[in-house]
Amino acid sequence: MGAGLTREMILKQFCIGPGRNFTYIVARREGGPAVVIDPSYGIDPVLKEIDDLGVKVEYILNTHSHPDHYAGNADVRARTGAKVGAYRTAPLEKDLDLSDGQVLTVDGIPIRVIHTPGHTPDSVLYLFEGHVATGDTLFVGECGRTDLPGGSASQLYDSLFGKVVHLDDGTVILPGHDYGPTPTSTLGYEKVHNYVLRPRTKEEFLRFMET
């Protein structure tokens, strides 16, 4: 488990499950309201940390509908009573149908939903206080694959170059998997060092994704 305490915000990162998934706890303070992002397989360390922090999980937020990103939903929900939120078209059991641009506020932390189809049609980012949970849209040094059902390299290009690269360069990237040389990065660093984000036309990007 990786764990960090940012200024005026608790942010805990857990690498769990056979796919080296990252699950996150976000809260303003110990004992206060919280959010869990992408609870994966092997959720017990996350549940223990929820108990240790004494936080009250209000929302479980999924970045997309692949099982390794929501496998722990039921366990977190059973322990905390939290509501599950995902993009409105995501084919998973949820309480909240989220839309592009929607903002959820938890203990003063605004969490903005950014729809980024490409890896899946229902992929979203969650942007909050200088951090963005990117799921499988963008990894440290890589991006998500588009050759699974519902994937689209064309849509991923639009999401990456039409939305993601326009976020502030200081935004901390919180990826959905531990696939890179570091568990987190910044958008500015990725724009320079992530070969996926090199300037390309859409046609060049589509050829790149086919290789």
- Average pLDDT of the segment spanning 157-186: 98
194 within 8 A of 36, measured Cβ to Cβ: no
Distance CA 156, CA 143 (A): 9
- The predicted-structure confidence for 51-70, as pLDDT tens digits, reads as follows 999 999 999 999 999 999 99
Mean pLDDT of the chain: 96
User: Considering only the top CATH level, what class is 2-210?
Assistant: alpha beta
- The predicted-structure confidence for 5-46, as pLDDT tens digits, reads as follows 445 899 999 999 999 999 999 999 999 999 999 999 999 999
What are the residue ranges spanned by the domains of the chain? Answer: 2-210
Amino acid found at 207: R
Distance CA 34, CA 51 (A): 12
Confidence bin at 204 (pLDDT 50/70/90): very high
pLDDT of residue 3: 47
Measure CA 99 to chain center: 15
- Residue 178 backbone class (left: φ over 0; alpha: ψ -120 to 50; beta: rest): beta
The percent of residues above 70 in pLDDT, for the chain, comes to 97
Confidence bin at 211 (pLDDT 50/70/90): confident
Lookup result for tokens 């080296």: 20
Confidence bin at 1 (pLDDT 50/70/90): very low
Provide the whole-model pTM.
0.95
